[in-house]
Amino acid sequence: MELILEERLLIAFQSSQKEVHRQDLFPYITEDINNKTFPFNLTATTNSDMILVKCPDSRYRHKNDGETFGRKYKIFNPQSIFSPNASLFAWVPLLKTKSGPTHLFCGQIVLITPEGSLDRKEWTFNVM
């Protein structure tokens, strides 16, 4: 029984490495990312100046499993982020300003176009 459970967990882990995650993790980001997708306006409903913003992490796949996400290492400081999901996403702390939106550059997603070429987009939030 224990061996069967371990095998199922291993199979589930291996298949999750090739999954597309947009619908579960970032449903508010359109499936087809284009030049108008980012920066994305994200409204924080809190009175606090400090918030946590969910950014994609290195194993995140948006539309197909051939895509990659390159995190911005300056904000992905291991001492300050929380990445509970095996590098699919990370909670990044952000000090929000009251005078206007605070820009957060999570990193760069490399997409595969229908023609098969690569297209790079900067994953940026305007946090309000």
pLDDT per position as a tens digit, 99-116: 889 999 999 999 998 898
Report in angstroms the alpha-carbon separations of 125 from 6, 9, 33, 68.
39, 34, 14, 19
Comparison of pLDDT for 17 and 97, the residue scoring more: 97
Give the mean model confidence (pLDDT) for residues 8-21.
Answer: 49
In a domain, 70, yes or no: yes
Closest by CA to 57, choosing from 65, 66, 68, is 68
Domain presence at residue 42: yes
The total domain count for the chain is 1
Statement: the pTM of the whole predicted model exceeds 0.95: no
pLDDT at 12: 40
Determine, yes or no, domain membership for 2. Answer: no
pLDDT at 73 over 90: no
Q: What is the pLDDT of residue 18?
A: 55
Residue 117 belongs to a domain: yes
Average pLDDT value for the chain? 83
Q: What residues contact 32, with CB distance under 8 A and at least 6 apart? A: 63
Domain hosting residue 40, numbered range: 20-127
Residue 14 domain-assigned (yes or no): no
Whether 1 maps to a domain, the answer reads no
Q: Say if residue 96 is exposed, middle or buried (CB neighbours under 10 Å; 0-12, 13-18, 19+).
A: middle
Q: Which of 49, 66, 81, 68 is nearest to 123 (CA)?
A: 68
* 15 found inside a domain: no
- Cβ contacts of 96-101, under 8 Å, gap ≥ 24: 96/44, 96/48, 96/49, 96/50, 96/51, 96/127, 98/49, 100/128, 101/41, 101/126, 101/127, 101/128
